[in-house]
Chain A
């Protein structure tokens, strides 16, 4: 009796330790996540606002393109003024300039307004004029290509391997290799894309087409693996029920197996697209790192994508670009959250039907 009591105490102690360790790790993870998010939001949200001046009295306070652009009441201030007005950084302003800003402030001729240009402009050498539009359009076009190549190929491969292929040495070998490919560093897919699409096929260099195809190669094994595990989770009894009624293997597949596996397949596809959306390394290799100041007009025109634009901005030492970097990261995070939200919605919807 005593022995069993002490073993009970030991067991309870172990259980308590395990629970505390779990709770602690969750708290730590939340702390890091909160720190990162808080930092990005703190730095990034100001990028959505810009300083504007409604006076042409002091041209050296205005943005460098102001003298070419048409007259408007409120003119975007230079990034140095912007930084001073928002955060009080005065390193790059001369004392007279600071005095001028004070005068403007007293006259109500300087204000903080919503930075529409951040969303509607493409990249620029001037942080106050740079925006994410080009990167956004490039990302959309690239992702479209990725989806159109990786989705049908990946799902088709998984369907064939899981439902039709003979189970022999060759298919086993292929399966093992696909699983390994899913873990290959993404930069290697960039090298593959460079050799295959640019050197061999001669497609135009920094285009959404090449970027999309390269990311498609990268997403392919992930989609295959996700689809196969979704197909594997379809109960054998369901297939037998349909076969027992005289359904053909193809009918079993498309009437029962695919609909049942669809939420899993779609979740896998969307998550792999989300990964492709945030991918930078392979795109640097295929030349999408170039400075491109216009949004791509079509799939073959020079393009850049949001994460690469973030990468480019982050290398700049100008205060304005540091702010822009965080702002663009916020937009990217929002897009990723949106994609993941869609995946969750699809899953919920299909589970409600069951």
Chain B
């Protein structure tokens, strides 16, 4: 794995009050690849993901130690603007969470608050390109101004991906993006993840091991707050080095 690493996490510890959620996690995220984070429920993989765009900032009593370097810059340095960081590191959540506005306004919201356009026509283009990249354009191009909440679950999740793409981030974090979707919608989102890899660096948390195997190039296995094993996805699934990893991927526990 000789790629340049987009994000370099060094000795990360995370605490919620007195409870430690992550123990000394170090991981390199390669650019323009998909990294899957797997592990049993409560192992800290979502908490870890939320450290990468400082979403844990809003959790009261959350405290972290260690370094998260994005392009060799520490995102927890005092000089870093969280707002700017989150435009570089976008996020898609477990449950589709479109704003209760029109489809168009959902995608346009990010560009609007960051003033990424000068004319309305430019915004129209951003919206169209983002929806096309999220493979949603064909389905909804005639009803851009209808409420987003009327879309199906799978469409909503792709809309959320389009919304994240619209601010042109470098990294997209996905927290179990398919857990609320049916198999057909899941297949569509997975296909999309594969295409997005050309432009973005992706990190996806998933409970679905087949999904991790299908969409990722690198896989990291978490267990009760520790990063147990990292490796090239094919290798990790066929020849896990650690006993716990083997136990989890063969279905003995988790």
- Closest CB pairs A-B (n = 10): A244-B91, A246-B86, A237-B97, A246-B87, A245-B110, A241-B97, A246-B83, A354-B100, A247-B113, A248-B83
Q: Are B109 and A245 in contact (CB under 8 A)?
A: yes
Residues of A bordering B, CB below 8 Å: 167, 235, 237-248, 251, 255-256, 260, 353-354
In the bound complex, how far is the Cα of B147 from the Cα of A245, in angstroms?
Answer: 19
Question: For the complex, is B149 an interface residue (Cβ under 8 Å from A)?
Answer: yes
Residues of A within 8 A of B163 (CB): 241, 245
- Beyond A241-B99, A256-B99, A260-B100, whether A246 also contacts B114 by CB under 8 A is yes
Q: What is the CB-to-nearest-CB distance from A167 to chain B, in angstroms, rounded to a whole number?
A: 6
Residues of A within 8 A of B55 (CB): 240, 243-244
Our pick among A167, A244, A354 for the contact of B164 (Cβ within 8 Å) is A244
Residues of B within 8 A of A245 (CB): 86-87, 90, 109-110, 113, 163-164, 167
Question: For the complex, is B93 an interface residue (Cβ under 8 Å from A)?
Answer: yes
Q: Are A244 and B100 in contact (CB under 8 A)?
A: no
Q: What is the CB-to-nearest-CB distance from A260 to chain B, in angstroms, rounded to a whole number?
A: 7
In the bound complex, how far is the Cα of B97 from the Cα of A235, in angstroms?
Answer: 9
19 A-B pairs (CB sep. < 8 Å) = A238-B97, A240-B55, A240-B97, A241-B99, A241-B160, A243-B58, A243-B86, A244-B91, A245-B90, A245-B113, A245-B163, A246-B86, A246-B87, A246-B167, A247-B83, A247-B113, A255-B113, A256-B99, A354-B100
Q: What is the CB-to-nearest-CB distance from B159 to chain A, in angstroms, rounded to a whole number?
A: 11
Q: What is the CB-to-nearest-CB distance from B155 to chain A, in angstroms, rounded to a whole number?
A: 16
Q: Are A244 and B53 in contact (CB under 8 A)?
A: yes
Q: Are B93 and A240 in contact (CB under 8 A)?
A: yes
Q: What is the CB-to-nearest-CB distance from A246 to chain B, in angstroms, rounded to a whole number?
A: 4
In the bound complex, how far is the Cα of B90 from the Cα of A246, in angstroms?
Answer: 8
Q: Are B86 and A237 in contact (CB under 8 A)?
A: no
Q: Are A246 and B113 in contact (CB under 8 A)?
A: yes
Q: A235-B97, A246-B85, A248-B83 are in contact. List 11 more A-B contacts (CB 8 A).
A: A238-B97, A240-B58, A240-B97, A241-B98, A241-B163, A242-B99, A243-B86, A245-B164, A251-B113, A255-B109, A353-B100
Residues of A within 8 A of B98 (CB): 241
Residues of A within 8 A of B85 (CB): 246
Question: For the complex, is B251 an interface residue (Cβ under 8 Å from A)?
Answer: no
Which residue of B is nearest A237, CB measured?
B97
Which residue of B is nearest A240, CB measured?
B93
Q: What is the CB-to-nearest-CB distance from A90 to chain B, in angstroms, rounded to a whole number?
A: 67
The residues in B between 41 and 64 inclusive whose CB is less than 8 angstroms from any CB of A are 53, 55, 58, 60
Q: Are A354 and B147 in contact (CB under 8 A)?
A: yes
Choose among A242, A244, A248 the residue with the greatest number of B CB atoms under 10 Å from its CB.
A244
In the bound complex, how far is the Cα of B53 from the Cα of A247, in angstroms?
Answer: 13
Q: What is the CB-to-nearest-CB distance from B130 to chain A, in angstroms, rounded to a whole number?
A: 12
Residues of A within 8 A of B149 (CB): 354
Residues of A within 8 A of B167 (CB): 245-246
Q: Are B60 and A167 in contact (CB under 8 A)?
A: yes
Q: What is the CB-to-nearest-CB distance from A256 to chain B, in angstroms, rounded to a whole number?
A: 7
Our pick among B53, B93, B113 for the contact of A241 (Cβ within 8 Å) is B93
Residues of B within 8 A of A239 (CB): 58
In the bound complex, how far is the Cα of B59 from the Cα of A167, in angstroms?
Answer: 12
Q: What is the CB-to-nearest-CB distance from A233 to chain B, in angstroms, rounded to a whole number?
A: 13
Q: What is the CB-to-nearest-CB distance from B61 to chain A, in angstroms, rounded to a whole number?
A: 9
The residues in B between 178 and 193 inclusive whose CB is less than 8 angstroms from any CB of A are none
Question: For the complex, is B67 an interface residue (Cβ under 8 Å from A)?
Answer: no
Residues of A within 8 A of B110 (CB): 245-246
Question: For the complex, is B243 an interface residue (Cβ under 8 Å from A)?
Answer: no
Choose among A237, A246, A353 the residue with the greatest number of B CB atoms under 10 Å from its CB.
A246
Q: What is the CB-to-nearest-CB distance from B208 to chain A, in angstroms, rounded to a whole number?
A: 21
Which residue of A is nearest B87, CB measured?
A246
Q: What is the CB-to-nearest-CB distance from A347 to chain B, in angstroms, rounded to a whole number?
A: 15
Residues of B within 8 A of A354 (CB): 100, 147, 149
In the bound complex, how far is the Cα of B122 from the Cα of A15, in angstroms?
Answer: 63
Q: Are A238 and B93 in contact (CB under 8 A)?
A: no
Which residue of A is nearest B110, CB measured?
A245
Residues of A within 8 A of B87 (CB): 245-246
In the bound complex, how far is the Cα of B58 from the Cα of A248, in angstroms?
Answer: 12
Question: For the complex, is B95 an interface residue (Cβ under 8 Å from A)?
Answer: yes
In the bound complex, how far is the Cα of B98 from the Cα of A251, in angstroms?
Answer: 16
In the bound complex, how far is the Cα of B99 from the Cα of A244, in angstroms?
Answer: 12
Which residue of A is nearest B106, CB measured?
A241
Our pick among B60, B90, B95 for the contact of A244 (Cβ within 8 Å) is B90
Which residue of B is nearest A235, CB measured?
B97
In the bound complex, how far is the Cα of B41 from the Cα of A288, in angstroms?
Answer: 65
Contact with A along B67-105 (1 / 0, CB 8 A): 000000000000000011111001101010111100000
Choose among A235, A245, A247, A256 the residue with the greatest number of B CB atoms under 10 Å from its CB.
A245
